[in-house]
Structure 1
C-alpha cells in the first residue's frame, strides 16, 4: 500500500467511526492509476461487505436521467425548450420546459401528490401522471431553484415513451451497458447492504424498511457499487477519456450540462446547478461535478473533478454509506479528491515541438489591441487561440475554428466570447491588418474607438 493509499484509507475510516456508519464503501477513479477502493464496516445481513456490495444511491440516479434526456436531444427527438406536454401526455403543467425541469427551476412541487414519505406508497406511472392535476406549481417557472423529484420522474418517463420502452430499459441499454456499469441496477441484487437509521443518543442502529420508489424511479431508484459510481463520476467530469468514441454522449454535451444555470442559495453562491448536475467550485478554477443522494437508510456522494494543472484525467470519487443520517460522508469525496491530487498529482508531460501555424494565420500571431486592452494570439495544439495579456495563468484561452470555405472567418468555440465570430481583414498584399471579434475592432496598436492611434508620429 502506498503512502497516498494509507492516507485516503485513514480519512475514510475516520469518517466511518465519527459519523457512525454501519457500512461505508469508497472508490476513487483516475486515468493514470489503478482504481482505489476501501470498505469499512458490515452489511447488516448475511453477506460480507466487499467492493461488490451494492448501496442505494438515491438522487445520484437523476444524473443518469439527465444524460438520457441529452441523448434524445442529440438525436433530434426533443428540444430542451420543449414543454413536457409535447412528449408526455400529462393532464397539468404541460407547459413546463424540459430545461427547467432538468435544472430544478420549473417551480413544480418537490414530491408526487400525497404523503409518499409517510406511507411509503409510491405511485405507479398512471397514478403519478393522473395526480399531476393535484400537484402544485409552488413557484413561477424560472423564478429560482426548487428541487423536484417529481420533475425528474416526468423526464424519465418522457424518455421511455420516446424510446418505446420503460425508463429502466432505456437506461440499461443506452448508458449502463455501453459504460460497463454492470453493478448498477434498479434492483438491489444479492450483494445489497442493509440501510439503517442510527440512534442519535446510543449506538443502536435500526434497519430502515425496504422501499421501491415506483414511478419516481428516474429520480432516485438505482443501486450500485462505489467502483461503478467512481467511474460514472469520472465520465461526468471527463467523458473524452471514459467514453472516447462518444457512445453515450459527446463531450460537448457534458460541457453544456456542467454550465451553471442557477445557484441553490441566493446569498451563498457556493453551489451551482446545471442540467441535472450539482456544481461545487473548489477554487483555482477547479470544480467538482456530480450529485448527492439520500434514501431511507442510505446516503451517497458521487463527484468528478475538473480543472487544475495537477488534476489527472478521468478523476472521480464515490462514497456510499448505509446510514440515512451520516451527513459527514457528503464532504468525504471532496476531501479525498483534493488529497489525492495534492499527494499524487498528475504527471507533467514534457513539451515537444509541433507543426508551424498554417500560412494564412501566421500574420495573426502576436499582440493585438481591442477595446483598449491587449491580447495575445497564438497557435497551439493545431488551433488559433487568444488570451488577454493580463489574464490569470489558469484562465482558459479563447479557441477559434474557421468556418467551412471561409478561412478568414472563424468561430469562437470555447473561452472568452464563445460562439462569436472573428473576422480577418487583409490588405492588397494579403497581410492581416485588422480583425473584428464579436464586432469589436482589433488593431496592432492601441487605438481609441474612433481610430486614434497613440503611436502615430503626429500623436499629441
Structure 2
C-alpha cells in the first residue's frame, strides 16, 4: 500500500495499543486475494508479534461451526427448519430449529448453566445436557435476538452426531485443510501469545487461564493467527474454495435478526455478525475470552477486510479499531470497481427476452447477465428488483430482493414465441395488460381506449 496509508494504519494501531494498554496488538488488511498490510505493537515473548503469532479468537469460532452446519444443509443432511430433536435428542431445547440456534433467535439462556465456562475446564456433552432445563429459556423462540453460547455448544454436538466424528476433526478435514489454514487449532501452538488481564489502575498484568471448554468449546475454543484469519476474511467475502458455494455464504450474510431495533447498525445472520456503517454492509464476528479479544470484519462489496487481535481481557476496542482501519483504507486507497468486459456470446433466445416487460401498467426492464442469469427491476425508481439464476428449462430462481427464492417462468405461444413471464403468480407481458396473456381476473373487453 502507499506509504501514507501504511503510516495512517500503523498510527491508529499504535494509539490503540498505547492508550488502551494492550500487551500486544496485531492488525491486518486484506482485499481480494491479497494480504495488503499487517501492523503490530507490543510484544510476545520479548519480540513483536507477527502474522504467525497465535491468539485465542473466542466467538469467531462460531463462524466455523456455522460453516460446518451449512455444509450439512447443502448436502441434504439437514434442513435449517428442522427441530434440533430430529438430529440431537435429549436436550431441553429440542423444539428449537437449527436456524434459530445459528441466528441466536431461539430464546435460550446466553451461558451454559453452572460455573463460568470460559475460565473453567469443561465437561463432556452428557454433563452439559444434564445441566440444561426448560427454565433456562429466556424469551419466546423466534421472538427476538438473544445471544446464546449454549446454542453453539449444541450445534457443535449436532455436527458430531451427523458426521460421526468430533466437531474439531470435522473442521480440520472439511474446512481448515482445504483453505490451508494450518495455524488454527483448539489449543495454542507456539509461537502464541499468553492471555493477560491488565490491572485497571496500575500497569501490571495477571495471567488468565485457557482451559479446554469441553462441550462448550464450539462457542469459543479456537486459536488462530493473522495469516489464517486473512484467509477466513476472504472466505466470508465469497472466496470459498471448495468448502461452500459462494451463494451459501451470501445466505449466511443476510440479516435474520437485528440487535438495535430501528437503528439497524448491528445484526446477525446464520453464524455471522452483521454491521451497517457509512453505507457499508459488513460481515464478520467478534471474539472475547479471558485474556483475549479479536475481530474479523469484511465488506463483501469491495472484498476489503480487517482483522484485529490482542491478548487483553478487556479495555481494547478491537471492533472500533477494525472499523476505523477499514475506513482509513477506503479513504486513502478505495477499491476500484471490477473492470467491465463484454460477454463473448449470448444465447439469441435469451437476448430476445431483454428489454421492457410490464406488470400491469408498470414497466420493468429485463437484462441478461453472465452465465444466463437474468436481472428484473423497475424501469425507474426503486421497487421490486431481483436477480435470477437458471433453474431448469425456461425457469429461473430469485437470488435476492423481493423475489428471493421465487420461480420466474417463461411461457410461450403455440408457435413457440415468448408469451409472458409468470413470477410468483404475477404476470409480466411485453405490452401493458396484453389481452393475449392470461391476466388474472381478466381484462375489460373494450381494452385500452383507441382512436
TM-score, length of structure 1 as denominator length: 0.87
| 1:136-195: CA deviation from partner (whole Å, max 9, x where unpaired) | 112221121111111101110121222222122111111111111111101111212122
Cα distance 1:47–1:184, how it changes in 2: closer, same or farther (>3 A)?
farther
Distance 2:409 2:84 in 1: 40
Cα distance 1:35–1:118, how it changes in 2: closer, same or farther (>3 A)?
closer
> Residue 294 of structure 2 aligns with which residue?
300
Cα distance 1:153–1:385, how it changes in 2: closer, same or farther (>3 A)?
same
More displaced 10-residue stretch of structure 1: 269-278 or 416-425: 416-425
Within 5 Å, which residues of 2 pair with 1:244-393?
Answer: 247-284=242-279, 286-307=280-301, 311=302, 313=303, 315-355=304-344, 357-383=346-372, 384-391=374-381
Distance 2:12 2:320 in 1: 11
Q: Does 1:137 find its partner at 2:137?
A: yes
> Residue 41 of structure 1 aligns with which residue?
42
Within 5 Å, which residues of 2 pair with 1:13-412?
Answer: 13-31=14-32, 33-43=34-44, 45=45, 49-116=49-116, 120-133=120-133, 136-239=136-239, 242-243=240-241, 247-284=242-279, 286-307=280-301, 311=302, 313=303, 315-355=304-344, 357-383=346-372, 384-391=374-381, 398-404=386-392, 406-407=393-394, 409-412=395-398
| 1:288-343: CA deviation from partner (whole Å, max 9, x where unpaired) | 11111111111111112112xxx2x4x33210111121242211222222322332
Deviation at 1:266, TM superposition (A): 3.1
Distance 2:130 2:396 in 1: 51
Distance 2:391 2:33 in 1: 36
Deviation at 1:361, TM superposition (A): 2.9
Cα distance 1:378–1:229, how it changes in 2: closer, same or farther (>3 A)?
same
1:6 alignment partner, SS class? helix
More displaced 10-residue stretch of structure 1: 81-90 or 159-168: 81-90
1:15 alignment partner, SS class? helix
Cα distance 1:9–1:135, how it changes in 2: closer, same or farther (>3 A)?
farther
Distance 2:318 2:75 in 1: 38
More displaced 10-residue stretch of structure 1: 221-230 or 1-10: 1-10
More displaced 10-residue stretch of structure 1: 30-39 or 108-117: 30-39
More displaced 10-residue stretch of structure 1: 346-355 or 15-24: 346-355
Given that residues 227 and 318 in structure 1 are in contact (C-alpha distance below 8 angstroms), is that contact kept between their aligned partners in structure 2?
no
Given that residues 53 and 193 in structure 1 are in contact (C-alpha distance below 8 angstroms), is that contact kept between their aligned partners in structure 2?
yes
Deviation at 1:26, TM superposition (A): 1.0
Deviation at 1:429, TM superposition (A): 5.5
Given that residues 368 and 442 in structure 1 are in contact (C-alpha distance below 8 angstroms), is that contact kept between their aligned partners in structure 2?
yes
Cα distance 1:411–1:81, how it changes in 2: closer, same or farther (>3 A)?
closer
1:29 alignment partner, SS class? strand
Cα distance 1:254–1:391, how it changes in 2: closer, same or farther (>3 A)?
farther
TM-score, length of structure 2 as denominator length: 0.89
Cα distance 1:452–1:353, how it changes in 2: closer, same or farther (>3 A)?
farther
Given that residues 293 and 310 in structure 2 are in contact (C-alpha distance below 8 angstroms), is that contact kept between their aligned partners in structure 1?
yes
2:317 alignment partner, SS class? helix
More displaced 10-residue stretch of structure 1: 119-128 or 273-282: 119-128
> Residue 8 of structure 2 aligns with which residue?
7
1:152 alignment partner, SS class? helix
Unaligned stretches of 5+ residues in structure 2: 435-440
Cα distance 1:334–1:78, how it changes in 2: closer, same or farther (>3 A)?
same
